[in-house]
Amino acid sequence: MAILLSDNEFITVQKLIFREVGIDLQSSKKLLVQSRLLKRLLHYGFDNYLDYIRLVQINVTERIEMINLITTNETYFFREIDHFEYLQKEIIPKHPFKTKFRFWSAAASVGAEAYSVAMLLDKTMARSDWEIVGTDINTDVIKKARIGLYPEKWADKIPIELKKEYCLRGRGRHEGQFLMDRALVENMDFRVGNLMKYNGEVGRFDVIWLRNVLIYFDDDTKQMVVDNVLRNLKVGGYFFISLTENLNMLNTANLESVATSVYRKIK
């Protein structure tokens, strides 16, 4: 017999996810949540969602598992190519020589965004002159980002000369995959971070990308997340959101718009 997530149980999950992650799970997502959590019920041998929900309420480790299952981590290399062009043409050439360029991929997922930028930076700067931090709330994607191993198909979007230089084709048990050059990884720090709070430990950045995550938040949460993240941006630094997102309903008095979905911190 199928195990069903009741409306009340779904509301409890909605509240929990909203409180912990900020994600505003719409009612239309109920079946998706039911199916994503089912394997955890089966793992514990539960025959109903209530027992599982009680467990996540008291067990931090299982709460992290649940968050990992509920977040959407879709990403790919060189996503929204306009942003890479802007970075390459307008930002990197103007960066003061010999000053470390610090970049934050603030919803990094498995790292495709961070490694795409890393390849560009490494092409144009000395290796000692740049540094990338990638954070995400999902502990599974951060583990994958640290490894930097991707299905070969993902390399299709990487410009050919960068692919040749930085992507190592897998052999043997890694056939069909590619590994990011270890030299890049040394300049990168992937760590778990929640956008719902100020992440002071990662320091201040010249450029912050917060792309394809704001869509999951309501306006109040968006404001809080953007305010948190902007505390890590240097004055004069650049802030990118996705081309499909906007800051329309937010108070962004400390930003000026410099291109579509690109902002500069002015105070």
Ligand X SMILES: C[S@@+](CC[C@H](N)C(=O)[O-])C[C@H]1O[C@@H](n2cnc3c(N)ncnc32)[C@H](O)[C@@H]1O
Active site members: 36, 136
Site size toward ligand X, by CB under 6 A: 24
Residue of the chain from 14, 116, 199, 212 that contacts ligand X (CB under 6 A): 212
Residues 44 to 103 in contact with ligand X, rule: CB under 6 A: 71-75, 79
Alpha carbon of 184 to those of 119, 133, 148, 221, 265: distances in Å?
8, 12, 10, 33, 28
As a whole number of angstroms, the distance between CA 80 and CA 211 comes to 10
Strand partners of residue 150: 178
Give the per-residue contact string, 165-194, with ligand X (x = CB under 6 A; - = no).
Answer: ----------------------------xx
Q: Dihedral sign for Cα 24, 240, 152, 189, please.
A: negative
Find all residues with CB under 8 Å of 178, minimum gap 6, and list them: 149, 150, 152, 154, 155, 167, 168, 169, 170
Can residue 213 be called a binding residue for ligand X (CB under 6 A)?
Answer: yes
As a whole number of angstroms, the distance between CA 10 and CA 36 comes to 12
Can residue 13 be called a binding residue for ligand X (CB under 6 A)?
Answer: no
Stretch that binds ligand X, among 1-9, 33-41, 48-56, 136-144 (CB under 6 A): 136-144
As a whole number of angstroms, the distance between CA 40 and CA 42 comes to 5
As a whole number of angstroms, the distance between CA 50 and CA 10 comes to 10
**Eight-class DSSP state of 48:** S
Of 46 and 198, nearer to ligand X (C-beta) is 198
Stretch that binds ligand X, among 19-27, 115-123, 153-161, 167-175 (CB under 6 A): 19-27
- Closest to 108 measured CA to CA, from 5, 2, 193: 193
- Closest to 38 measured CA to CA, from 66, 8, 75, 12: 66
Helix 139-147 / helix 60-70 crossing angle, nearest 10 deg? 70
Residue of the chain from 16, 21, 229, 262 that contacts ligand X (CB under 6 A): 21
Residue of the chain from 107, 185, 208, 230 that contacts ligand X (CB under 6 A): 107
Can residue 23 be called a binding residue for ligand X (CB under 6 A)?
Answer: yes
Can residue 211 be called a binding residue for ligand X (CB under 6 A)?
Answer: yes
Can residue 109 be called a binding residue for ligand X (CB under 6 A)?
Answer: yes
Of 158 and 196, nearer to ligand X (C-beta) is 196
Residue of the chain from 17, 55, 66, 195 that contacts ligand X (CB under 6 A): 195
In angstroms, give the least distance from the CB of 128 to ligand X: 26
In angstroms, give the least distance from the CB of 68 to ligand X: 8
Binding residues vs ligand X (CB under 6 A): 21-23, 71-75, 79, 107, 109, 113, 136-138, 141, 193-196, 211-213, 216
